[in-house]
Chain A
Amino acid sequence: MRRPLSPEDHKISFTQFVFTIYKTQIGIGILTLPRDLVETTGTDGWISLLIGYAIAVTVSILIIAAMSKYPNDTLYELLPRLFGAWIGGGLSLLWIGYAAGGSLVMLLWSIHLTQVWVLPAISSPTLMFLFVLPICLYTFHGLKLVGRFGEFVYLISFWMPLSLFWGLKDAHWLNFLPIGHNGWVNIILAVKTTLLSFLGFELAFILYPYLTEKKRAIQGVVFANTLALITYSIATVISFLQFSEETLKEYVWPSLVLLKLIRLPFVERFEIIFVALYLVILFATIVPYLYMAAMGANRLLRTKNHRYYTIAFLAGCVVLSVLFRPSFWQLQWMGRQYGKAGFLLAFLFPVFLWLWGIGYRFIRKERHP
């Protein structure tokens, strides 16, 4: 706790940049995405997924474009610079709240998931305490450790989406026909669901200034989004092949039901092992968001150390888990609120920021030719 972090602790490489964003994007969403899509547009969801991907890539590139004019600023320095101290500070506060809220929602979801699938008898404060410890360790250092964690999680978990192929027992390709049978309006409506699954690319706001190879930043965000698209496509297409629309609507966790179909001669209930390992992936979403919030608070209050905020937040989580045990519907509600905030901040705000940046520089040039 003593040694302050040096700039060296924040430098991240290209692969760390890609995998941190990718692993932040893959969270709880993939476990429920097939059902979310089926509810709005049936088996045409894959089209919405592609549209969502295109939008997410565009917005990520806009983020890089907006940031590249001020290559050493993170979001929290950029906002006061472009909007002035007061408005910039307010916007920073919004972002901090969004990132902290995101990690809180994910933490609560991870606990719910563990309690439903793996350990039905364990109390949530115990779980929360156990979860908080590794998260704390990973957010204590600089961004470099967050990046390395992203890389590490990718390496140990790249087999997980592939294991869904095992669950494919009887594939009905006709489930996909006729294309567009639920109407094109619904396909557009479902894009909103898919957009939320791509949330996580907004981390580029804090990762970009520390990226060593800045020229490859755009390539990096496209890479990350594509990896996320591949992962989501595997989960949705396999679910659509295996189950009919009507059945998928009944499943709360369709991707995990797919895993239940796997029967290995030496191990039963494979999904328990999967969910237990999946916690690491969920942590890879919580850690960057928490870091983003702590970093913002640190900059906003002009303190020297982000660790105090991390500890305060995590301790708050443990206390919260004692006082409040959310039901599934409450969690869903929280997820939706987080989604709405994400839609405003991660999708609309970068576009606005990019346009504002252009206008800002244009006016400055007019005044000081």
Chain B
Amino acid sequence: MKRIPKRYLSLFALIMLMATCACGKSTALEMLQIMGVYGIDLNEEGRLQAYSSSPIFSREANKKYNITKTTALSTRQSRLQLDSMSIGALTGRKLATVLVGKKLLTEKSIYPYMDVLFRDPSSEINASIAMVDGNVSEIMESEMDDKGRLEVVLFEEIETSYEDRICVLTRAYQLEDQLLNPRITPYVTEIKALPGEIKVTGTALLSDDGKYAGSLNNKESSLLLLLQRDIGRPIQLMLDLPSKGIVTINIKNANYNMHSAYGKERFQFRVAVHAEAELTEQATNWKENIPVPVLEQEIAKQLQQECDKLIGKIQRYRVDPIGFGYYAKAYQLSRWKEVEDNWGDAFAQADIEITTRVKLTSTGAVK
């Protein structure tokens, strides 16, 4: 093959580069409305209310971020309306947090509102989902003067609260999986607006059809994480022991033994939790010296009681955020098929027995 002369080659390259230039609509950052927080709620008349918060890069503007608010029929439509009010094109590619109002979750299923997030290949499915106890507008309009941009504050707060193990963290793709998967019911972070503050109050549990079922506080959320086997980071728990008073332990590692059966017309689950913990605080009775085995037993007993309380609570709500359904399907398939569409109710009937054993590995720098 005769070589193509060099000058043709450069011409060729030029043509190809021109073709690729034409494919991207180049957009300046200032002209983009980068949605960091997206909020949906129902207003008093039951219409969908959408909010978006985006950073402002313009030098002339006084505020660091801007909040847009609109009333719409669907999430997509609300996006269009928000777009018409914003300075530039609205994009969901950097979405960090999605806020959903409690009113919306109580009355309607969350799934159709999330659809647009899952369908658009360019949207961020790693955004975390949070339920607002109250109105979304309270969060959106709260004063952030001493904190910074709303989207950063929300993102950091939810993320660090999860790392401190006082709430769950559900990303959009996880929520979709939990909604579609009959073996586990969805759960999202719950936040609340206080004057000048945003507080992560724990976990909102949803039923399998995506409606609000109940809430867990911070401590129950920690226990939920423990039972969900989410122990990538240590779980801190405050317990009230009969001998030692209030102590705080740090659960660093845990082994689980799960046994499932079916009898007496209900599912039976036995969970054995073997936790390794360290004592990080003894708040009241610091004079008396209690032997470690006694301490271990008392902690284990206390932990078991707390877990039983949590199980009782979620069974009352008829939800299964721990995922016992996975075991039901894996080991009791024929029984599972009967209750597949209604796992929440079957789970509420189930017998669940939790046994705990705690091994104290250290008591810190003091005896």
- Residues of chain A whose beta carbon lies under 8 Å from any beta carbon of chain B: 1-3, 116-117, 119-122, 126, 129-130, 133, 140-141, 170, 172, 174-175, 177-178, 181, 243-244, 246-247, 250, 253, 256-257, 260-261, 263, 268-269
B327 at the interface (CB under 8 A from A): yes
- In the bound complex, how far is the Cα of B174 from the Cα of A247, in angstroms? 10
Contact B23 A121 (CB under 8 A): yes
Q: Which residues of B contact A129 (CB under 8 A)?
A: 19
Contact B180 A247 (CB under 8 A): yes
Residue of B nearest to A114 (CB): B23
Q: Which residues of A contact B93 (CB under 8 A)?
A: 268-269
The 5 closest A-B pairs by CB, nearest first: A177-B330, A122-B23, A244-B181, A246-B180, A174-B326
A–B pairs, 20, beta carbons within 8 Å: A1-B2, A117-B121, A121-B23, A121-B25, A122-B22, A130-B16, A130-B19, A133-B16, A170-B174, A177-B329, A178-B331, A178-B333, A181-B333, A244-B180, A246-B181, A246-B182, A247-B181, A260-B173, A261-B173, A263-B126
Contacts A247-B180, A257-B173, A261-B173; A126 near B19 (Cβ below 8 A):
yes
Contact B333 A1 (CB under 8 A): no
Q: Which residues of B contact A178 (CB under 8 A)?
A: 329-331, 333
Residue of B24, B118, B174, B330 near A174 (CB, 8 A) is B330
Contact A119 B23 (CB under 8 A): yes
Contacts A177-B330, A244-B180; A121 near B24 (Cβ below 8 A):
yes
Contact B1 A141 (CB under 8 A): yes
Q: Which residues of B contact A181 (CB under 8 A)?
A: 329, 333
- In the bound complex, how far is the Cα of B329 from the Cα of A1, in angstroms? 64
B193 at the interface (CB under 8 A from A): no
B84 at the interface (CB under 8 A from A): no
Q: Which residues of B contact A256 (CB under 8 A)?
A: 121
- Secondary structure type dominating chain A contacts: loop
Contacting residues of chain B (16-49) with chain A, CB-CB under 8 angstroms: 16, 19-20, 22-25
Q: Which residues of B contact A130 (CB under 8 A)?
A: 16, 19-20
Tally chain B residues at the interface, Cβ within 8 Å: 30
Q: Which residues of B contact A2 (CB under 8 A)?
A: 1-2
- In the bound complex, how far is the Cα of B332 from the Cα of A177, in angstroms? 10
Known: A140-B1, A244-B177, A257-B173. 11 other contacts (CB 8 A): A3-B1, A174-B326, A174-B329, A177-B329, A177-B330, A244-B180, A244-B183, A250-B176, A260-B126, A263-B126, A268-B94
B125 at the interface (CB under 8 A from A): yes
Contact A174 B327 (CB under 8 A): yes
Residue of B nearest to A127 (CB): B23
Contacts A177-B330, A246-B182; A257 near B22 (Cβ below 8 A):
no
What distance in Å separates the Cβ of A85 from its nearest Cβ neighbour in chain B?
A: 33
- In the bound complex, how far is the Cα of B173 from the Cα of A257, in angstroms? 9
Residue of A nearest to B182 (CB): A246
B255 at the interface (CB under 8 A from A): no
Q: Which residues of B contact A250 (CB under 8 A)?
A: 118, 176, 180
Residue of B nearest to A243 (CB): B177
Contact A126 B327 (CB under 8 A): no
- In the bound complex, how far is the Cα of B118 from the Cα of A178, in angstroms? 29
Task: Report which residue of A174, A178, A260 has the largest number of chain B beta carbons within 10 angstroms of its beta carbon.
Answer: A174
- In the bound complex, how far is the Cα of B125 from the Cα of A243, in angstroms? 14
Q: Which residues of A contact B125 (CB under 8 A)?
A: 257, 260-261
